[in-house]
Amino acid sequence: MRARSLAHEQIVSPATKQQPIFRKANPLWLTAVEVVDESNQGIIKSHIPPVCDLRPGGCSQCHRAKLFCYGYLDPTQLLIHDETGSTQRKVLARQNSPHGLPPVLQLGWVVRARDTFFSLYVFGLSRSYHALAPLYDQATSSGHLSSCVDAVSLAFVSFQCGSPAVLYMARQKYVDGIRKVGQALQDPTTSLSDETLQSVLLLDLYEKMVNRNPHSLPSWTSHIRGAMSLVKARGARNFSSPIACQLSFRLSMTLPISYGLANLLMPKGSMGLMRELDPYITGIKKDFTALAADTFRLKCNIAHGRVSSSEAVQMARGIHSRLVALEAAFPPSWMPRSVICADPRILGVRLDIYPDHFAAQLWNAVRFHRLATDDIIQTNSSGDSCVTKDAFQDIAVVVEQICAMVPQFILPGLWPDNEMPFSPLQRLRCCTILAPLYIAGQLSNDLVIKNWAVQTLESIADIGNLRIAREVATLLASARTDYWLVYAMSGSYAFAA
C-alpha cells in the first residue's frame, strides 16, 4: 500500500494490513490525501479529507506541529480579472511576428547550395561532371570529396546571388577541403583514388568561380598542377574505368586553358595525356579540345616571344583552317535553323535556333577561337593585304553568326527554361555567351554591332540580375580590355557545358 499526495511527504508501510503513516510537510489545508492499495488483488483507492480546521490566522494542527501556516484562503477575497482580450492580443502578435516559427522547414545554406549545384550545374548545364555523382554517392559525409563539393556549391550559389555571406562560407569550406585533401594525399592508397583526383579538380573549379583574374593568384593553376602530378602517379589507373577516363579527359581540357589564360608555358608532357585517351574517348568535343590547346599554346608563345610574327601568322592560319574543318564535321542535328523575326532585341531580323545548349555552346567556342586566330593574323601580318583581308572578312561572318545566336539565350519561349525574368538555368546559359558577345563587339568595325552588343549585355544584367554581364558591358563600352581576360572573368570553363 502507498499513499500519494501533492502536499505531503509520505512514509509507506509494507504491504500489510497496517495503516500508512504520514509525516506532515506542508500545511494540511493545501490538499487532501489519496491512499492507494496496490496489491495483487487489484487497486483500491480511498480519499482522506483534509483535517485542517480552516482558521483564518492559521490552523491548529500547523501551530501544534510548529509549522508556518498562512491559514484558510477566503474565496470572496480573491481578485479575478478577465484576461481574454490580453490573451487574444498576445496570440495575434505572435502570429504576425517575423521571428515566429516558419511555415516550412528552413534548410541550411550548405544543404540548399549543394542541391542547387547538383540540379542546375551537374545535371543541368554541364556535361563534364557526370563522374561526380557516383563518386559522391560512395563518399563519406565527413570526407574530402564532400568538403570540396560543399565549397564549390557555396561558390556557385555566391556567383548566382552575389552574396558575401555565402562566399565567406564557401571560403571556409574551401580551406577545409584543402586540409582534408592534404590528409588524403598522405595515404598511398587514398591518394591515387578517383575520389581524390575528383576532389582536386573541384578545388580548381572553385578557383575559376571565385578568383576570375588569371594573373592575380598562384592558386589559379596550383590545383591543376596538383591534378597533373596525381595523374602521373596513377599511371594505368587513369584509363581503368569510364569514371577514370572522364576525370583524365577533364584535366586534359582544363590544363591548357588554365595555363593559357595565365600566359604560362604548359608543362612538358601535358599533351601526352590527351593522346593516351585516344583509345577511350573520341568525338568532336575532344577534337575541339586539342585545337583549343593549340590556340592557347600559340597565345603563350607569342606573349613570351618564342615565335616570330610570320611564324605566329602561319600557326594561326593553320589552327583557323582546322577550326573551319571541324565546323564542317558537325552532325546535321547540330545545325542552326534561321528564323526571320522583327524584334528590337534582335540585330536586324535574323535569329538562329539551335537544338540545345550544348550544340550552341560548342558552336560559340569554335567561333571564339576563330576570331582569336583572326586577331592574331591581323595583328602580326606585315603588309600582306591578302591575308589581312581574309581575316577581316572572316571576322564579319563570325560576328554575324554570334549576334544571330544570342536571342535564343535571352528571349522567352525559344528554349523550355527561358523566362522573364531569367530562370536560374537561363542565367547560367547566359554566362557562356558573355565572352563571345564581347569579342564580337570588340573586333567588329561596325559601330552598330558594338552598340547592340553593349545594350544586350546591359539587358542581360538587368533582366537576369547578372552582375558580371554589366561589368563586361562596361569594359566593351569604355576600354579595350583583352578578350581573354573577359573570358576568364565570365568563368572560363567553370560555366561551360
pLDDT in tens, 311-340: 999 999 999 999 999 999 999 999 999 999
Range from 29-33, 55-59, 472-476 carrying the lowest mean pLDDT: 29-33
328 and 251 housed in the same domain: no
* 383 within a domain of the structure (yes/no): yes
Distance (Å, whole) CA 402 – CA 436: 7
* 43 within a domain of the structure (yes/no): yes
* 241 within a domain of the structure (yes/no): yes
- 53: nearest Cα among 26, 71, 34, 33: 71
* 85 within a domain of the structure (yes/no): no
Average pLDDT over residues 16-36: 42
Neighbours of 104 (CB within 10 A): 5
Whether 92 shows a pLDDT value over 90: the answer reads no
Q: What pLDDT sits at residue 24?
A: 38
Picking from 12, 45, 71, the residue at the C-terminal end of a domain is: 71
Q: What pLDDT sits at residue 497?
A: 67
Whether 33 shows a pLDDT value over 60: the answer reads no
**HSE-CB of 135 using CA atoms within 13 angstroms:** 25
Average pLDDT over residues 194-202: 97
The pLDDT confidence band at residue 265, using thresholds 50, 70 and 90, is confident
Q: Parallel, antiparallel, or unpaired for β 21-23 and 33-39?
A: unpaired
Tens digit of each residue's pLDDT (9 = 90 or more) over 351-410: 999 999 999 999 999 999 999 999 999 999 876 678 888 999 999 999 999 999 999 999
Distance (Å, whole) CA 49 – CA 27: 14
Q: What pLDDT sits at residue 212?
A: 75
- 422: nearest Cα among 431, 437, 412: 412
CA dihedral 251, 256, 257, 261 (to 10 degrees): 140
Average pLDDT over residues 129-156: 94
* 127 within a domain of the structure (yes/no): yes
Tens digit of each residue's pLDDT (9 = 90 or more) over 272-315: 888 899 999 999 999 999 999 999 999 999 999 999 999 999 99
Q: What pLDDT sits at residue 369?
A: 97
Strand partners, 33: 48
Domain span at residue 54 reads: 2-71
247 and 323 housed in the same domain: no
**Helical packing angle, 434-443 and 385-405, nearest 10°:** 140
Q: What pLDDT sits at residue 256?
A: 92
56 and 140 housed in the same domain: no
Whether 205 shows a pLDDT value over 60: the answer reads yes
The pLDDT confidence band at residue 40, using thresholds 50, 70 and 90, is very low
Q: What pLDDT sits at residue 43?
A: 45
130 and 258 housed in the same domain: yes
313 and 420 housed in the same domain: yes
Q: What pLDDT sits at residue 50?
A: 52
413 and 486 housed in the same domain: yes
Distance (Å, whole) CA 319 – CA 294: 7
248 and 314 housed in the same domain: no
Q: What pLDDT sits at residue 124?
A: 86
Please state the domain count of the chain. 3
Picking from 71, 99, 126, the residue at the C-terminal end of a domain is: 71
Picking from 282, 315, 345, the residue at the C-terminal end of a domain is: 282
355 and 469 housed in the same domain: yes
317 and 420 housed in the same domain: yes
367 and 405 housed in the same domain: yes
pTM, two decimal places:
0.77
* 91 within a domain of the structure (yes/no): no
* 451 within a domain of the structure (yes/no): yes
* 292 within a domain of the structure (yes/no): no
54 and 116 housed in the same domain: no
332 and 278 housed in the same domain: no
Report which residue type is found at 473. Answer: A
Whether 10 shows a pLDDT value over 50: the answer reads no
